[in-house]
Structure 1
Amino acid sequence: MAPELVTDPARPRPAPLRIGLFGAGRVAGQLGPALVAAGHAVVFVWSRQPATAAALAAQLPGTPVLTDLAALPPADAYLLAVPDAAVAPLLAAVAWPAGAVVAHLAGALPLAVFAARPAVRGGVLYPLQTFSPGRAVDWAAVPLCVEAADAATETLLLALARSLSADVRRLASADRLRLHVAAVFANNFTNHVLGIADALLAEAGLPAALLAPLVRETVAKALAAGSPFGVQTGPAARRDAPTLAAHRAALAAHSAWLGVYNSLTASIQAELLAEAGPAAG
């Protein structure tokens, strides 16, 4: 079932919220200014690296750096923009006010992570985007996936999400995990494969820009197609054995990349065979 789209373009701008921000890395570094631009008050920034927290706080007018986890300033919501592995230890380390709304921003971490802290009202505010230093994100176009342990927390997080994005959806933990896996294929794995392509061109003394038009058309075609599988091309799809053999020979000096080539070739051929059905067997 598709995640429910809960954005309402006609909905009035939500009241400003007080937000406590844990983290000062790639996500928090862009989320903090976005929260301020949406009219919210970031009441503090905390990070395991005080210098990083100070650098982010300096971009947010009037926002201090939190140094004592036992003395938490009041806030309407506390956002955990920290690595997945840091969420549970942070939940245990902070002296949370009773009934505090605490939300993590992770794709693969279930809502159940809050079960060990029953005094807090747990939630999720997952931004489906890649964040990199020096590259601004258009938050209005970032899908924000919300999940919460209770109706009041969900209402608050939905309002916060709507103030940032035009694409807000309710999404349960299991479906969010599937979405995160899909995002890794679409983003992280694609980036890695492009890195391999770039390195191969560099070895041959060829400019990376040669691939730019091909990459743009590949992505545009895949997004326009009913299914990217349906527009698959190339020697693997054609079962072009001589070309595949020549490619493997060219990759002989790169065993890891050859492994990627062979795995993707096998996956393409298996998918096309499955689509063709029993008659192709």
Structure 2
Amino acid sequence: MGKSTVAERLARRHGLRRYHADTRTWAHRDRALAAGCPAALRFESLSPEDRWAAPVPDLLAMSLHHERGRMVADDVRALPAGPLTVAEGTVITPATARALPGRAALWLLPTPALLEKRLAERELKPGPLALYRRLADVIEDEVRASGAPFLTVDIDTDVTEEVAARWAAPLAAGPHSASRAERRALLREANEAVVAQYTAFFARPWSRGDVRAAVAPLSCECGATGCAARVDCAVTAFPAAPVVAPGHDGFSAS
């Protein structure tokens, strides 16, 4: 059970806005490029092969781990006050949380067994594999050193209810999106961010592949609080109508 799944479940259940930092990757990189960030400039100047052949410390620098954390804080501050936002992503550090005073924060730290299981499922090449292992160590060190609250997550552990219990007070206080129409609008907003992420990746000058062949797993927009369905959608054919799973067309799922 990953942090993205937990965040989506809580967002659906409580009518929250979901901010997934991964969907802002290229927007953040463009901001770093505009600011003249050396690591961002180097990342874009290298071919994918040369980039991933770099030493792990260089890969970590080019990941913009800390730079992007500050950008996440800026993004979240710019969101509407209501409904509540649940933000998730590996670039959200304790420093990011400190830049957002009054916000509840909790880190999910995988056990070594769970981390290796997730990495194996992604079938990563040596460069990305080394970077993600290093990032996992950096994140855990930052969380433990800061005294930030965390949960240790093991294989097949569902921590959704424990996270909800930790955040019981802010979740109860709201504000929430109470109507199904409002919840559908939030799901559409999250899906638009996913489509924008795919589109921006294929627009990079070094990117390979064809955006017309890209298929994104989107959240079903039926708006039911208990729905967890995904809908595979061609990125270039993202419809104006709601994206819904089979059988949810009438928004009848409870």
TM-score range, shorter chain: under 0.3
TM-score w.r.t. the length of structure 1 is 0.25
TM-score w.r.t. length of structure 2: 0.28
Q: Which has the larger radius of gyration?
A: 1
